[in-house]
A and B are shown apart, each in its own frame.
Chain A
Amino acid sequence: MDAPPTAGEPAVEARGLSKRFRGGQLAVDGLDLRVPRGSVFGFLGPNGSGKTTTIRMLLGLVTPTDGSAALLGRPMPADARRVLPKVGALIEGPALYGFLSGRDNLARFDAADPTADPATRRARIDAALDRVGLGAAARKHARTYSLGMKQRLGLAVALLQPRELLILDEPTNGLDPQGMREMRTLVRELAGDGTTVFLSSHLLDEVEQVCTHTAVMARGRLLAQGPVAELAAGARGRLVVTTPDAGDAASVLKEHGVTALSTEGDRVTGDPPTEPGTDLADLNAALVHAGVRVRSFGVENGSLEDAFVALTGEGFDVAG
């Protein structure tokens, strides 16, 4: 695909985006978000962190109390009529008319798009159904669909037109492992066509597998954003020592400032000391000096999960 004329503009941009719901709850607090064109952007955060409210504000469903949002370089919700035909969305799971067939559901949502050409509707519906693998079930009533099939039909709605941006909120929810794999393949394919994909998830490995960029949100605030590799590299690695004398090793390491120690069989892991100037080689020497037989000694690279846990302060936190 040729570079769009607006390639310099981010696909999604939010500045100081905030939402305080009636009742005073601050769901999103001063969010500054920038999703580069052509990226696969993973929007991470624990449940209730404000991801969905952010997505609803980006799509013009919820009015921000403060700040601004833009999609494909145009302000939302002011330019919604012009931008949204180029944006496909799956928001908080699929919503369908149970009494209509899968095909009629697609026709219904297509009719709502003023730019959709009724003359090509049939063909586009067929293409969307094929793309999500629902061709065979297209004539069944949507209420008979399994959650995974509903999710696929919801995705087909997002694919009715060629899109420049796809906003997918938890796209693998309710899918079986095979469906999840297919969804990832589909996301990669779409990204390969030049579509920017913005996907929210609480599944770290999903983001790590398919995304080029990511942002982490917790309690309504954005904690970090950037390329996945950079963010994961920012996380401190874990010191890993393999030794038959695990107990001794743990106490020696503790004396030398290693925190969050845990022992599993012959494997001792911990956070390396934070004081500057500590050389890990000295730690190894100390272990050997104390008569600990060391089989292996090293630092395991930080994963996105480490970065996530460090940022949100959630998950396991073993006291040292």
Chain B
Amino acid sequence: MSPADGAASAVRAEAAASGPGTAVRRPSPLWTLSLFRSELTVTLRRWRTLALLGILAVLPVLIGIAVKIETGGGDGGGGGDGGEGPAFINQITNNGLFLVFTALAATLPFFLPMTVGVVAGDAVAGEASAGTLRYLLVAPAGRTRLLLAKFAALLVFCLLATLVVALSAVLVGAALFPLGDITLLSGVTVPLSEGLLRALAIAVAVAVSLVGLAALGLFVSTLTGSGIAAMSATVGLLITVQIVGAIPQLDVVHPYLFPYHWMSFADLLRAPVPWGDILANAGLQGVYAAVFGSAAWARFTTRDITS
């Protein structure tokens, strides 16, 4: 709507209104923000979301306790990735901060994306099956605006879910193990403060890794009127992609799968940081977001809302 149109409609409304309180207000330039905030609040107040975040917070505790029990204070050695168990797990006993990297490496392949898949799949389909979608649309939220608000809320959720894991891991790591200067994978030792900054950067990199799946889930969510169907389809897709990614004979398609560069976040533990894979990951997630975001938009803006 052009500003002139808006003014015209406000004038019309003023003329039609009987009192000062009844004028139709001109939409604020920040018209999407209020809906985005509402979207985020509603997402975070669902018990399902809270339960998923709760489990994410507990996982680092489990890993931390397991490592504490397993190693009677022995030196794990500088294994880095590979070897048995999640990456960095051998280093935790030396420095509790490594629990952050271990916890993210352990949850990124499945649990963290599953959480995102559930929330993304539910985003539109859940509202459709509850019937609230029709009331949002006649409010009128606007289909493009609603989808944008939902996608923005999903992005925030990706970051939030990752931060929950990271924060819980920092606290557990500090409680159970010594904290101190960090020896990076490239052998350089940096102070704890820089280690914490790198941990934050890793959390952001992991959150970015989830963007592609979030867009995919949002698209799936526009296809059906059943929240459960959309959630299970999205999580099913995640599992399928992870299986395909694990089959060496299919390596032709691997570079096009969204988890292909997921473990690149470990590069942030090198000095200097080799940015290649991290940027490739961001690029791949951006492509997924663009493709499936557009598909979701095309589908959602033309769909008949019959539920």
Contacts and interface: CB of A to CB of B under 8 A. Distances in A.
Contacts of B38: 107-108, 111-112
Interface string B6-29: 000100110111100110111110
Contacts of B28: 114
A258 B288 CA distance: 75
Nearest to B28: A114
A116 B24 CA distance: 8
B193 interface: no
B135 A162 contact: no
Interface in B131-148: 131-132, 134-142, 145-146
A85 B24 contact: yes
Contacts, number: 119
Nearest to B132: A95
A41 B137 CA distance: 23
Given A82-B9, A86-B24, A116-B25, A61 B134 contact: yes
B201 interface: no
B31 interface: yes
A60 interface: yes
A95 B136 CA distance: 10
A49 to B, nearest CB: 16
B34 A111 contact: yes
Chain A interface mostly:
loop
Given A61-B305, A107-B38, A84 B17 contact: no
A117 B16 contact: no
Interface stretch (B40-48, B174-182, B223-231, B243-251): B40-48
Interface stretch (A1-9, A235-243, A267-275, A297-305): A1-9
Interface residues of A, number: 48
A162 B26 CA distance: 15
Chain B interface mostly:
helix
A59 B138 contact: yes
A164 B139 contact: no
A31 to B, nearest CB: 17
B305 A62 contact: yes
B204 to A, nearest CB: 28
Nearest to A124: B21
A63 interface: yes
A109 B136 contact: yes
B42 A115 contact: no
**Most chain-B Cβ atoms within 10 A of its Cβ — which of A21, A115, A118?**
A115
Given A62-B306, A111-B35, A2 B45 contact: no
Contacts of B34: 111, 114, 118
A2 B42 contact: no
B279 interface: no
B130 interface: yes
A144 to B, nearest CB: 15
Contacts of B131: 92-93, 95
Interface in A83-130: 84-87, 89, 91-93, 95-97, 99-100, 107-118, 120
A95 B130 contact: yes
B27 A114 contact: yes
B138 A60 contact: yes
A2 B16 CA distance: 7
B70 interface: no
A4 B138 CA distance: 22
A89 B46 contact: no
A81 interface: yes
Contact of A97 (B42, B139, B141, B304): B42
A24 to B, nearest CB: 15
Given A107-B38, A114-B145, A115-B25, A91 B135 contact: yes
A115 B134 contact: no
A100 B45 contact: yes
B304 A62 contact: yes
Given A2-B18, A4-B16, A95-B135, 17 more contacts: A5-B12, A21-B304, A56-B305, A61-B137, A61-B305, A82-B5, A91-B135, A95-B131, A99-B46, A111-B34, A112-B38, A113-B141, A115-B27, A154-B135, A157-B135, A162-B21, A193-B18
14 contacts: A59-B137, A61-B306, A84-B139, A89-B138, A91-B134, A91-B135, A92-B134, A95-B132, A100-B42, A108-B42, A109-B136, A112-B141, A117-B25, A162-B18
Across the A-B interface, the 5 shortest Cβ-Cβ residue pairs: A95-B131, A111-B38, A112-B139, A84-B140, A112-B141
